[in-house]
Amino acid sequence: PITIHGKRLSKNKVSLHANVSSQYISALLLIASKLENGIELTLVGEITSVPYIKMTLSLLNEIGIETSFKNNVIKVHPSKAQPKPLTVESDWSSASYFFSIVAISDVGTEIT
């Protein structure tokens, strides 16, 4: 068996390049309200995934977690989420690979 021993995180300021995966940024934002001091995430450079970041923050706000996004700084305050049923929009970006295959294939090509 594997045992993982963590430690209490009290620092809350994180900086990372703004062009990293939006999934990585969203993962940090989703755990932030459970951190002792929340998180202040500074994105360095041009942000390439603003819609995904805003979607994540919107969902956090909807369940009662206070956030802000000004310039390149995102803040998520520590708090307890309020349980609530949510409908999360599907992410169609993964389907783009299949559409791309058809787009570069010969006319009449089918994909299932």
| pLDDT score recorded for residue 28 | 94
Encode pLDDT of 3-28 as tens digits: 988 888 788 999 999 998 889 999 99
81-87: average pLDDT: 84
Neighbours of 52 (CB within 10 A): 17
CA distances from 81 to 24, 28, 37, 58, 88 (A): 21, 16, 15, 13, 16
What pLDDT does residue 6 have? 84
Write down the pTM of the prediction: 0.74
Extents of the domains making up the chain: 13-81
Closest CA relative to residue 69, chosen from 102, 100, 29: 29
Q: Are 66 and 40 in contact (CB under 8 A)?
A: no
> Worst-scoring range by mean pLDDT, 31-35, 76-80, 95-99?
95-99
